[in-house]
């Protein structure tokens, strides 16, 4: 059963489609490099990270930006949003400082670098990600969710959002506990009307999986509840990207 309140993400007329339900929770334990303070040039303000997590690091050889990484179960994730300046991507409100804080916003085809949809684990789609990393499929997000919350159900019955959200940066007291170092920030999005919405309130991250023609799945979190939810959206909307190590 779908949570209709999910339609309020970005307002009811901005291209959201509730497409089934999975609970998404991310656990970040351990590291892949042992560096707890890499130069933060990716999509994170620097203050959102959990000081108790031993992060690894990744340097994108395309532009020299460095990102923190974190191990969650059998997966290694970027611990901040991608900030690679791909053609067609944007900073929130077209302000460069927003890219430094939230990373860049991408349409689904840009994230995928025009590759086909994938449900595989791993997805096999490098897309816009650095070499050795890929765009996570919907199934890979689900793997993450169920690792964090073994009791997560198909009805969004989870508290994953609280555990994934940063302890700072969310509006109206909506910060999380960031138990595992994912440090999710609410980067908002740009809808296909050309306007930007909801930075500080909502975060959305693309998957490599389509749910219908021109509609793709993504992970969503919001300031006013504890969930991490799967939704679908028009592929022309621009949202955040996280990459997963091959």
User: Cα torsion at 8, 14, 18, 19 (round to 10°)?
Assistant: -160
- Residue found under tokens 């996280």: 242
Per-residue pLDDT tens digits for 73-102? 999 999 999 999 999 999 999 999 999 999
User: Is a pLDDT exceeding 80 seen at residue 29?
Assistant: no
User: Is a pLDDT exceeding 70 seen at residue 129?
Assistant: yes
The per-type count for the chain, helices as H runs and strands as E runs, is 4, 11
SS3 state at 86: coil
How far is it, in rounded angstroms, from Cα 46 to Cα 116?
A: 34
How far is it, in rounded angstroms, from Cα 151 to Cα 169?
A: 28
Instruction: Identify the band that residue 156 occupies on the pLDDT scale cut at 50, 70 and 90.
Output: low
Tell me, yes or no, if the pTM score tops 0.75.
Answer: yes
How far is it, in rounded angstroms, from Cα 238 to Cα 115?
A: 17
How far is it, in rounded angstroms, from Cα 88 to Cα 229?
A: 26
User: Is a pLDDT exceeding 60 seen at residue 8?
Assistant: no
The whole-number average pLDDT for the span 175-189 is 94
Give the residue among 20, 41, 27 at the shortest CA–CA distance from 164: 27
Per-residue pLDDT tens digits for 56-77? 999 999 999 999 999 989 999 9
Cβ–Cβ under 8 Å, residues 187 and 198: no
């Amino acid at each position: 059963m779908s949570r209709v309140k999910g339609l309020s993400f970005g307002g009811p007329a901005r291209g959201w489609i509730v497409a089934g339900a999975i609970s998404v929770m991310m656990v970040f334990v351990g590291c892949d490099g042992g560096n707890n303070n890499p130069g933060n040039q990716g999509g994170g303000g620097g203050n959102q990270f959990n000081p108790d997590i031993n992060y690894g690091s990744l340097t994108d050889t395309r532009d020299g930006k460095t990102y923190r990484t974190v191990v969650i179960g059998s997966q290694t994730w970027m611990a901040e949003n991608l900030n690679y300046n791909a053609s067609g991507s944007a900073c929130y409100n077209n302000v460069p400082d927003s890219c430094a804080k939230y990373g860049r916003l991408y349409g689904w085809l840009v994230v995928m670098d025009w590759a086909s949809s994938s449900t595989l684990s791993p997805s096999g789609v490098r897309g816009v990600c650095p070499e050795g990393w890929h765009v996570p499929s919907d199934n890979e997000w689900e793997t993450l969710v169920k690792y964090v919350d073994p009791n997560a159900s198909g009805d969004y019955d989870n508290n994953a959002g609280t555990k994934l959200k940063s302890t700072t940066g969310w509006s109206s007291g909506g910060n999380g506990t960031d138990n595992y170092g994912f440090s999710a920030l609410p980067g908002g999005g740009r809808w296909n009307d050309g306007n930007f919405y909801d930075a500080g309130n909502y975060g959305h991250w693309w998957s490599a999986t389509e749910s219908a023609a021109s509609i793709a799945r993504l992970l969503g979190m919001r300031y006013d509840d504890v969930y991490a939810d799967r939704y679908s959206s028009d592929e022309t909307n621009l949202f955040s990207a996280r990459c997963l190590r091959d």
